[in-house]
Amino acid sequence: MTIFNFSAGPAVLPKEVLQQAQAEFLDWHGTGMSVMEMSHRGKEFMSIAAQAEADLRELMNIPKNYKTLFLQGGAHLQFSMIPLNLLRGKLSADYVNTGEWSKKAMDEAKKFCYVNEVASNADKKASYVPDFKSWKLDKDAAYVHYTTNETIGGVEFSWVPDVGKVPLVADMSSNILSRPYDVSKFGLIYAGAQKNIGPAGLALVIVREDLLGHAPKGLPTMLDFKVHADADSMYNTPPTYGMYMAGLVFQWLKKNGGVAQMEKANIAKAKLLYDTIDASNGFYHCPVNKPDRSRMNVPFTTQDAAVDAEFIKQAEARGLLQLKGHRLTGGMRASIYNAMTMAGVQALADFMGEFARRKG
């Protein structure tokens, strides 16, 4: 039986990447060493890190005046590092509240500054992207933070806010590399790796150089972006195997048409699932406003929690795994990141159709 893993993260990785990592596990390129045994300052690993950065910069067309950092602590640590590094003496920052991950970022930032909630979708259970015309931005804010895709609620921005001269900060943990972005529109982009990049334990930060070097006096060294930038992410021992795996994923992306081709595939996969939901005559329901539906995370329910549980159980028997919705939302959630194949999405859509016919 073919297994399809719809986990929200840690998530499915490309089969070709796993096979390459397996082949190189004991002996990387004739060195007699596994990557996880290498010194991070040895020429072997330094070449891996340099290639990974070069490939990421090519895939995202990152301008020269941006630094790319490979860090630890996931997006959660960035919730703290961003205000600590980007406040630059200012007292407040703007945050857009579109769901659970936005709220986590806001709650952490409140420890360091006043958080101005410029917009929220809480009035309709986090089911839409607030119209930009309604945003109450502060021209004196240190930065504007938003979450491009809410993994739990399945709400995704299809546009990039124009916030003028105030630096725009984006948590792209769950949709980075799934669609093209103009990096020059952002002051900082960050992402946990465990959805579209590689295994858990690595976080990417892409930061404009003029935003570096403004950390307050007394800030712990490991929390200073400039320290990591000056050391090319090698200030301490970085997550070496995670960087290696990310590099393999970047190479896989390049071989398969890059980010533009990923976007085409992701549009097709998401359309298939949403069409299946919408064609079910109300048997399935997606709570998200149609224009704001995520291409990465598709939440849906039936009208009965007991039927939802039966759906998940029967899906598992068919090899369709990790479809249980988040504990805060219930129901089901299919995460269809870059590495999820159309075959997997088609298998899920076919099962959804069969289940609805039997139960509807």
Catalytic residue among 55, 94, 171, 224: 171
Q: Which residues have CB under 8 Å from 205's CB, separation 6+?
A: 67, 68, 69, 71, 78, 188, 189, 190, 225, 228
Give phi and psi for 169, each to the nearest 5: -115, 130
If DSSP codes are grouped into helix, strand and coil, which group holds residue 170?
Answer: strand
Residue 310 burial (C-beta neighbours within 10 Å; 0-12, 13-18, 19+):
middle
Burial class (CB within 10 angstroms; exposed 0-12, middle 13-18, buried 19+) of 314: middle
Measured CA to CA, the distance from residue 257 to residue 111 in angstroms comes to 43
Q: Known catalytic residue: 135?
A: no
Q: Could you say which of 55, 67, 94, 101 is catalytic? A: 101
> Is 195 part of the annotated catalytic residue set?
yes
CA distance 242 to 72: 10
The reply to whether 230 belongs to the active site is no
Alpha helices in the chain (DSSP H): 15-23, 43-60, 74-86, 100-109, 225-230, 240-255, 258-278, 305-317, 342-359
Which of 195, 252, 269, 292 is catalytic? The answer is 195
**Active-site residue set:** 101, 171, 195
